[in-house]
Amino acid sequence: MITSETYSKSQIYSDSFENDSEKYKMIAENVTISYGGVPAVKDVSMKFKEKSVTALIGPSGCGKTTFLRCLNRMHDMTKNAKVEGKVMIDGIDLYSKEIDPIYHRRKVGMVFQKPNPFPTMSIFDNVTAGLRLNGVRDKRILNEIVEDTLKMAYLWDEVKNDLKKPAVELSGGQQQRLCIARALAIQPEVLLMDEPASALDPIATQKIEETIIELKKEFTIIIVTHNMQQAVRVSDYTGFMYLGDLIE
C-alpha cells in the first residue's frame, strides 16, 4: 500500500500524465460514475493546471458534484457507487489498489456547500482537528498553523481574540471561511470546493471569492458553482456539464 513514506511514481504511473507533468496537477481520464448501474457521470476527461482555479458549471443534477467527489474518493463511502477510469495527481492513479485513501485525502482537501464546523468544538479546535488525528500534538506548531491558515482564509483578524469561542457562534460566512482554514490545515495540494458560497449573502460571498483568488497562488482549486458570473470572477478555466456529460 502506498503511504506517505512510499508515495512515489511506480508501476501505476501514467504515461499520459508524464507528458503533461509540468503543466497539470491533476488529470481525470474517461471517468464514469454510476449508482446502482445507472451512470451519473459519463466518460469525462479533464486536466487541472497547477495553481489555478477551474470551475465546473451547469444546471442542478448535471453531475458536477458527483464528479468533484470522485477527485477525493468520496464515493468509496457511498453504497452501490462505482467509479471507472483514472484520476491522477502528480502521475499517481488515485484509484489504484495500492493507494492509501486516507493519505490521499490529506493531499486533496474538501470544502462543502453548507458550512459544517464541528458544533461542539471551538474555532481553534476546528482548525486543528485533522492535525490532531494525524498525531500533531506540539502546541507551538498547532498555534502557528491555526494563525497561518486563518490568515489564508481571511478570518484571522476577525477571530484572533476569540479562538476558544464555539465555532457555531460565527456568522455563516465566517463559518465557511473557518471550514476553508480547516481544510488548509492539513496542507493539501488540491482544494475542492462544492458551491462554497451558495448559502451565503452577497457580502460573505465576496469574501469567499476573494479568498479563492488569493489561495490559487498556493493551491490548485476546483470549484463547483451554478453561478456563471461567479465562475467568470474567480476561475481561470471552466468546464460545462450537462446530463452527466462534459460539454466543453
What is the pLDDT at residue 79?
87
State phi, psi for 91 to the nearest 5 degrees: 85, 0
Q: Return the C-alpha cell found at 227.
A: 453561478
Q: Is the pLDDT of residue 231 over 60?
A: yes
**Pairwise CA distance, residues 179 & 25, whole Å:** 23
Hey, what domains does the chain have and what are their CATH numbers? 15-246 (3.40.50.300)
What is the pLDDT at residue 7?
32
**Whole-number mean pLDDT of the chain?**
88
Q: How far is CA 131 from the centre of its chain?
A: 17
Percent of the chain with pLDDT over 90: 75
Q: Is the pLDDT of residue 15 over 50?
A: no
pLDDT for 38-61, tens place per residue? 999 999 999 999 999 999 999 999
What is the pLDDT at residue 248?
77
Q: Return the C-alpha cell found at 202.
A: 452577497
Q: What pTM was estimated for this model as a whole?
A: 0.86
Q: Is the pLDDT of residue 226 over 70?
A: yes
pLDDT for 91-135, tens place per residue? 889 888 888 888 777 889 999 999 999 999 999 999 999 999 888
* Region 11-31 average pLDDT: 65
